[in-house]
Structure 1
């Protein structure tokens, strides 16, 4: 579907910093680049606006959106609460194959030589397995949109280095043990502690709200 193709490509261009926040995004140039009409481009941009990546102002243009501190905080707290809920549910339904996948990810994450960007990908896969194990596709898809946006804003170079990484590794291993033992309450507690630490880090980057 052309709309989906345009959505993915424009989103990746935004994430890669291909657009200046001071210059309007040219719909005509995008249509030429993707070899498609303006209609799927417009639909893709509308979707990206709903997700917070851009601002569309009639008679003015389409611009990459600067992050708003209040929205960052609100999205983070929503993401944390949904992920904590999914982790608790996962402790009741996670299977042996999923546990084995988590174990392999942990082993890869604990290699000293791993780069921050690679660690970030492993971290995302770790949490994705847990969320999928909860068997609640609606909550998972809802949260994925928000996490994708927050990951776009985040600075993994700092979050996944040094003592921050050491703490992340320890927290992930404790969450794994709680899931393996089938303990919903402990899993909930550990996941909340882990994600709130990450949330405070990201919120601190954009400023706290009263």
Structure 2
């Protein structure tokens, strides 16, 4: 049994339980029990129902938490701006792939075929998407002048290919590596033309 958790205010306890529930749902899906949650959180099972009315409410809050930015902003901001563009993009794609794959895995575990409505409809979600777009622009940085298209189109294409190449079904079981994604976006799929061919 886990050690007893320290006393917390109800809101803080709820947040802690949501985090624990999300971690367990990644393993057990919606079949996770309140007993498992309580043990992992180090609380009595009854404590759960002092901060939520039902198990379903807790599961729903955990799924919503999965679609929040979490540490994604910090991880993208930590990409070294002094690296060459290709290296920066490899770091970015690796971060995005980890996020996408964790999200896809959770959705399979809980039987979601699409993200919850709040991911698209909530004003906070719209603000987050706008923030993410600016973060991606920041990774490209001054190299935006080297692109053959507007930076917005470039990061949109990079995200779409990363999304599709990270999804088992969309990629038909052939997931793309960060190297494949970045090379495709930067250089395409044609062999370089030898100088002697000109």
Q: Please tell me the TM-score bracket, short chain as reference.
A: under 0.3
Instruction: Point out the structure with max Rg over C-alpha.
Output: 2
**Which structure shows the bigger proportion of residues in helix conformation?**
1
Using structure 1 for the length normalisation, give the TM-score. Answer: 0.27
Using structure 2 for the length normalisation, give the TM-score. Answer: 0.28
